[in-house]
Amino acid sequence: MNVQVEHHDGVLVAKVEGRVDSSNSQDFERQLQGAIGEEVKAVIMDLGQLAYISSAGLRVVLLVAKTLGQRNVSISLCALSDPVQSVFEISGFNRIIQIYDTQADALAAAG
């Protein structure tokens, strides 16, 4: 698992790669919390290279969404593979967090 951070006009894009499960979810949480510590107007998590996410990983996404919500910073996800999309649909988290097909769509909505 690896998180890479890019900035696009005050919008933070976090690209997540690999697998997130209970063995590395704490590391995932640390990396994301570190990245969103700074002033940003919106956060986009690009999950295009995410192969698998377990419920422990979902908890981190939820925690980050709640933290940002308290700061009135919007968060969205984009480019989910079919298996990852299905995890978000079954858990119902697609009802809490906006999901876009592509990073460009997410950036357009955030801008």
Partner 1 sequence: MGDRDNPDYRILVVDDEPDLERLVRQRMRRHIRRGKYGFEFAGNGVEALEVLAENQDIDIVLSDINMPKMDGLTLLQQIPEVNSDLRSVIVSAYGDMENIRTAMNRGAFDFVTKPIDFTDLEVTIERTLKHLDEWRAALASRDKLVAIQNELDVATKIQQSILPDTFPHVDGCEVYGCMQAARNVGGDFFDVIRLEGGRIGLTVADVSDKGVPAALFMMSSRTLLKGAAVGVGEPSAVLGEVNDLLNETNETSMFVTVFYGVYDPASRRLTFSNGGHNPPLVVHSDGSSEELRLTGGIALGALPGFEYGQASVELSPGDLVVFFTDGVTEAINVANEEFGLEAVQALFSESGPPSAREAAETILDAVETFAGEVPQFDDLTCMTLRIADE
For the CB of residue 42, give the shortest distance to partner 1 in the complex, in Å.
Answer: 20
Q: Which of 42, 47, 10, 41 is nearest to 28 (CA)?
A: 47
- Does 22 bind partner 1 (CB under 8 A)? Our answer is yes
Q: Is 71 in the site for partner 1 (CB under 8 A)?
A: no
Q: Does 68 bind partner 1 (CB under 8 A)?
A: no
Type of residue found at 107: L
Q: Which is nearer to partner 1, 64 or 107 (CB)?
A: 64
Q: How many CB atoms lie within 10 A of CB 44?
A: 27
Q: How far is the CB of 107 from partner 1 (least distance, A)?
A: 26
Nearer Cβ to partner 1 (63/108): 63
Q: Residue 43 is encoded by which pair of tokens?
A: 């956060």
Q: Which has the closest alpha carbon to 61: 39, 31, 40, 104?
A: 31
In terms of CB distance, is 6 or 89 closer to partner 1?
A: 89
